[in-house]
């Protein structure tokens, strides 16, 4: 069994996932409402045809997904959730943290802790909270 984050964006899903692909690499699939056959689906009210109805970034066995949410669809949704990225390489953790924190908000600067050689928390420029950690050796 696997739990997969599915992120909701306010119209900037395409920009966010292009950035995530630049940071993490991998294969990116972006489906817009305009990609769907007219008989299959129409954009929800307030959402344009170029809005992303599904994004999937695959790196190895990891999968991060998301979409542009219709206006008001996720107001009052669950708070207190972070996407966690773990790696065995401190240098890579620092690189990823720096890239995600760029033009975002650092909540806890990445550095050594009693439980990880490198751990940090930030909210990226798209409003997504991240926890970056390095596995103990």
Question: Confidence class of residue 9 from pLDDT cuts 50, 70 and 90?
Answer: very high
Which pLDDT value is given to residue 106? 98
Is 74 a domain residue? no
**The token pair that represents 39 in the structure block:** 């008989």
> What mean pLDDT comes out for the span 111-121?
97
Q: Do the domain assignments include residue 100?
A: yes
Q: Would 1 be classed as within a structural domain?
A: no
pLDDT at 100 (0 to 100): 98
In a domain, 25, yes or no: yes
Based on the fold, state whether residues 60 and 98 are members of the same structural domain. no
Write out pLDDT tens, residues 57-82.
999 989 999 999 888 776 655 677 89
Strands 83-87 and 129-134: parallel
* Residue span of the structural domain in which 11 resides: 6-68
Which pLDDT belongs to residue 84? 94
How many residues does this entry show for the chain? 137
Tell me the average pLDDT across 110-123: 97
Assess whether 87 and 130 both reside in one domain: yes
CATH number, domain containing residue 119: 3.10.180.10
Percent of the chain with pLDDT over 70: 95
Dihedral sign (CA 107, 92, 62, 14): positive
Question: What's the confidence (pLDDT) of residue 133?
Answer: 96
Tokens representing 83 are: 């996407």
Mean per-residue pLDDT over the chain, rounded:
91
Task: Express each pLDDT in 12-50 by its tens digit.
Answer: 999 999 999 999 999 999 999 888 887 776 777 778 889
Is 45 found in the same domain as 18?
Answer: yes
What is the structure's pLDDT at 78? 63
For residue 38, what pLDDT is reported? Answer: 75
pTM reported for the whole predicted model: 0.91
**Inside any domain, residue 56:** yes
Cα first-last separation, the chain: 26
């Amino acid at each position: 069994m696997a739990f997969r984050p599915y992120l909701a964006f306010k119209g900037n899903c395409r920009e966010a996932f292009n950035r995530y692909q630049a940071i993490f690499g991998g294969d990116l699939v972006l489906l817009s409402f305009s990609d769907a056959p007219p008989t299959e689906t129409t954009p929800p009210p307030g959402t344009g045809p170029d809005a992303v109805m599904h994004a999937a970034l695959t790196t190895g066995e990891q999968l991060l997904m998301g979409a542009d949410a219709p206006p008001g669809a996720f107001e009052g949704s669950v708070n207190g959730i972070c996407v966690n990225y773990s790696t065995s390489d401190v240098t890579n953790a620092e690189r990823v943290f720096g890239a995600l924190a760029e033009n975002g908000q650092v909540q806890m600067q990445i550095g050594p802790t009693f439980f990880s050689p490198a751990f940090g928390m930030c909210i990226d420029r798209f409003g997504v909270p991240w926890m970056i950690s390095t596995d103990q050796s």
